[in-house]
Structure 1
Amino acid sequence: MATTTTGNSSSSDQKSTTSPLMAKPTSNQRLVSKDGRSLLRGPAAGGRATWVGALRDMWGAWLSLRWRWVVLAFCGSFLLHWLLFAVLWYLLARANGDLGVDHDNPPPGHTLCVKYVTGFTAAFSFALETQLTIGYGTMYPNADCPTAIALLALQMLLGLMLEAFITGAFVAKFSRPQKRYSGILFSPQAVVSEVESQHCLMFRVCNLLSRPLVDVCVSAVLYEERDDMTLHQTSLEFLLDGLGSRPCPLFLSPLTFIHPLTPDSPLNRVLTPGSQSHFEVVVFLSASQEGTGSAYQKRTSYLPDEIQFGRRFSKATLLRGNERRNSAEAMRYFDTHLCSLTAPNSRDKECVVQINGEGNDKME
C-alpha cells in the first residue's frame, strides 16, 4: 500500500524544507542518516510557536534534549528553587522583624519565625537545608509562627514534585530504546544477487551486544520521488533467510534479510539498469533483550549509490562467547564478493555459522 506526500511545485525552497528527496538529488540528501537519525525538518516555526509547542509537550521536549542541556536544566532548576524560597524566607524574616533582633535573646513578646535567619545568606542556607533535609540543627522554624509552617510545607511539596520529575526524566532518558542500539550494526551497503534464480535485495545486521536479542523484527519503507513532484512511500517486506517473515527468536550474529525483486515489488522498477529514480530505502529493526525485556530499536537507510549489483555477502562465522566483540572486527561480516546475476544461482552455500565449533546452519 503506497502513501503519497505532495510537494509544492511552485517553490524549490519549500520542497527542500519539506523533504530532502524533493530537492535536487545529491549523494548527501537523505531522510534518515546511516546511524538512524532523522534528517527531515519541517518549515521553521516562529519563536512564540516553538515555545508554545514545547510547553504543550514538556515531557517530549525534555527527553529530546541533549545530555548537556539536561544536566544544565537539572542544576538550574534546583538553584532556582533554592533561590526562590531563599527570597521568600528572607521576606518572611524581614516582615516579621527578625533581621534586627538578637535571636539568642529576642525582645519580650516577639515570636521568631525561623531561628537564626538574620540575612539573605542565612535564608538561602535554610532553604537548602530544608530541601535536602540536611538538618544541621542551628536554624529551624518556630511552631508558634503559622506563616513559617505554611511556607515550609509549600517548599517541601514543590521540592518533592521537582525531584520526582527530574528522577523520572533521567530514568526515561536512560531507558529510551533508540539509545541502546550502539551494539547493533547494519551493513553499510546493500547488495543485489540471485537466490534460487530470483534477484533479491539483501542487507546484513550484526549484534555486538553482550546479551542476545529475541523477537527481532524488520520492516522497511521505500521513499521515492516521482516526476509529478510527489514523494511516495511504500512498505517493503524483508524475509529472514531460513525463517521467512517470522520474527527471529534469537539474534546472535549475523542475520541476512532478503527482499525478492519480483514483478510486483516496487523496488523492481526503480532498480532497473538506467533508472534515474531518486529513492531511499529506510529499514527499521526492533528487538527485545533476553531476560529484561528492554526494547531495542535501530534504523538505517540505503540510497541508490549504496546498493551494489552482482555482489553477495561473504561467509560469516559467529563469534564465540569468549571472543572480543567490537565494531572493527564486525565489519568483516559485511564484506562482499562478486557473483553472477544472469545464471541461476542456488541459495548461498558458503556462509556457515558455527557455534562453539558444533553444528552448521547455512545462511545468506
Structure 2
Amino acid sequence: MTSSIGDQKAVSCPLMAKPHRQRLVNKDGRSLMQGSAPGYRETWFGALRDMWGTWLALRWRWVVLAFCGSFLLHWLLFAVLWYLLARVNGDLDVPNHDSPPPGHVLCVKHVTGFSAAFSFALETQLTIGYGTMYPNADCPTAIALLALQMLLGLMLEAFITGAFVAKFSRPQKRCGGILFSPQAVVCEVRGRRCLMFRVCNLLPRPLVDVYVSAVLYEERGDHELHQTAMEFSVDNLGSRPCPLFLSPLTFFHPLTPSSPLNNTPTNQSHFELVVFLTASQESTGSGYHKRTSYLPDEIQYGSCFTRVTSLHGKGRNKTESMRYFDTQPCSLTLPNTHTTDTLEKEHVVVQINGEGSDRVE
C-alpha cells in the first residue's frame, strides 16, 4: 500500500517528483518542457504555416541537410522540365545539333538526354556560363522556362541566405561566453539574509544595460504550476539595469517576509528558480539573452562566494573562470524570517488566573 501511494504521488507531481526530477530549464538555458502534442497532421500544418520559425528552430545538421536537399530538388525539377521540353520539341531525335534539319528550331543546343538536361539546369542556376549548351532565342518556351527557373532560384537563395544569417545571429548563440554560477548561495549581506548567484562574462567585449529577472515556479498541492516574479539587483542599483558588464557580477535577492521563497511552506521542495539575463553590445546594439535555473538542492545555505580577484591574464576560458564561482562557508546569525513567523504562529499562550506565564507549543 505504501508503494502504491508513493507511485500515485509521483504521478500527481510530475514536475519535480523524485527520484526522476524533471527540470523546466536546463542549466545551459534549454527548455525541457514540451507542450501538448497535437495530431500528426496538425504538427505538419503548423510547421508549414510558420516555416521561418520552424527553420530557425532546426538543429544545424538538419539545416545543412535541408540546404543541400533543396538545391538538389530544385535542379532535379528543372532538369525534368528541360528534358520534357526537349522531348516535346523533338530535339532528342535530332542526331546532330550543330546542323539541325531545315525548319526545326532547337530550344536548347546539345540537350540530348537527361544527364545533359540536369547539367544545363545546374549551369543556369549557378550562372557559371553556358558552353556548348545554351537556350535558343527563337524558342519562346525555352525563354519562359529559363525566366521561371531564375526567379524561383533567386527566391530559394534569398530564403536560405537569410535563414543562415538569422541562425548565426541568434541572441542565444552569442551568449556562449556568459556563465552562471552552478550553485546559488544564501548568506548575509549588510544585515539581511539574501539569496545570491554570480554571472561571469568571457566575451572579448563589454556588455551594457545588463538586466536580470527571475521567476519562481512552484508545484503546490493543487498540482498546478504557479509562477511568482522575484527581483534581483546588483549592489544598490535596485531595479535599474547594470550599466556595464566587465567583471563578474553578483546578483542578490533579500529574503524578506514578503519574499516568494518565505511564502513557500517549509516542507515544500517542489520549486525551480529560473533566471533570465538580457544585455546588449555597446558597439552594435545586438541583444544577448541567457537563462538558467536553480533547484532546491542547488542552493547552498550558509555559504558565500569568494572575493573576486584578478586572474592575471587568465580566466578567458571556461575552466579558469569557474574559479569565480568558488564558495566558502559563512555563518548565518540573523534569524530566518519564515521560521520565526512559523514558530510564533505555532505557539499559544494559555492564561491561568489572569497570568500569561505559561506557553504551550
TM-score (norm 2): 0.87
In the alignment, what sits opposite 1:35? 28
Q: 1:317 to 1:219 in 2, by over 3 A?
A: same
Alpha-carbon distance in structure 2 between the residues aligned to 1:332 and 1:14: 40
Q: Runs of 5+ in structure 2 lacking a partner?
A: 1-7, 336-361
Candidates 159, 179, 188, aligned match of 1:185: 179
Q: 1:319 to 1:209 in 2, by over 3 A?
A: farther
Candidates 264, 280, 286, aligned match of 2:278: 286
CA shift for structure 1 position 172: 0.3
CA contact (8 A) 2:208 2:245 kept: yes
SS in 2 for 1:250: strand
Q: 1:125 to 1:160 in 2, by over 3 A?
A: same
CA shift for structure 1 position 181: 1.2
CA contact (8 A) 2:193 2:334 kept: no
CA shift for structure 1 position 328: 0.8
The percentage of counterpart residues that share the same residue type is 77
CA contact (8 A) 1:253 1:319 kept: no
Candidates 206, 209, 221, aligned match of 1:212: 206
In the alignment, what sits opposite 1:226? 220
Candidates 45, 48, 51, aligned match of 1:55: 48
Q: 1:105 to 1:35 in 2, by over 3 A?
A: same
Root-mean-square deviation (Å) = 1.8
SS in 1 for 2:172: helix
In the alignment, what sits opposite 1:329? 320
Q: Give CA-to-partner distance per residue, 1:226-259, whole Å, 9 cap, x none.
A: 1111110011100112422211111012000010
Alpha-carbon distance in structure 2 between the residues aligned to 1:91 and 1:220: 62
SS in 1 for 2:278: strand
Alpha-carbon distance in structure 2 between the residues aligned to 1:203 and 1:71: 38
Alpha-carbon distance in structure 1 between the residues aligned to 2:277 and 2:50: 27
Superposed structure 1 runs of 4+ greater than 6 Å apart: 11-16
Alpha-carbon distance in structure 2 between the residues aligned to 1:198 and 1:214: 28
Alpha-carbon distance in structure 2 between the residues aligned to 1:171 and 1:105: 49
The answer as to 2:88 corresponding to 1:100 is no
Alpha-carbon distance in structure 2 between the residues aligned to 1:131 and 1:255: 52
Candidates 90, 102, 113, aligned match of 1:119: 113
Q: 1:122 to 1:48 in 2, by over 3 A?
A: same
Larger RCO: 1 or 2 (CA < 8 Å, sep 6+): 1
The answer as to 2:256 corresponding to 1:265 is no
Q: Give CA-to-partner distance per residue, 1:38-76, whole Å, 9 cap, x none.
A: 011123322211111101110000000000000000000
CA contact (8 A) 2:83 2:117 kept: yes
Q: Give CA-to-partner distance per residue, 1:263-317, whole Å, 9 cap, x none.
A: 11111133x7x52331000000011112121111100000000001111111012
Alpha-carbon distance in structure 2 between the residues aligned to 1:194 and 1:269: 19
Aligned AA (2:329): L
Candidates 130, 135, 157, aligned match of 2:129: 135
SS in 1 for 2:86: helix
Alpha-carbon distance in structure 2 between the residues aligned to 1:79 and 1:15: 50
CA contact (8 A) 1:131 1:156 kept: yes
Aligned AA (1:239): S
Alpha-carbon distance in structure 1 between the residues aligned to 2:185 and 2:257: 18
Q: Give CA-to-partner distance per residue, 1:68-100, whole Å, 9 cap, x none.
A: 000000000000000000000000000000011
CA contact (8 A) 1:284 1:300 kept: yes
CA contact (8 A) 1:36 1:301 kept: yes
SS in 2 for 1:180: helix
Aligned AA (1:71): V
CA contact (8 A) 1:253 1:318 kept: no
Aligned AA (1:144): D
SS in 2 for 1:267: coil
Aligned AA (2:322): M
Alpha-carbon distance in structure 1 between the residues aligned to 2:173 and 2:21: 24
The answer as to 2:229 corresponding to 1:238 is no
- Spell out the pairing of 1:272-351 with structure 2 (5 A cutoff): 274-318=266-310, 322-323=313-314, 325-343=316-334
In the alignment, what sits opposite 1:174? 168
Q: 1:27 to 1:191 in 2, by over 3 A?
A: farther
SS in 1 for 2:261: helix
In the alignment, what sits opposite 1:361? none
CA contact (8 A) 2:125 2:150 kept: yes
Alpha-carbon distance in structure 1 between the residues aligned to 2:306 and 2:236: 17
Aligned AA (1:41): Q
Count residues with an aligned counterpart.
327
SS in 2 for 1:204: strand
Compare CA radii of gyration and give the structure with the larger one: 2
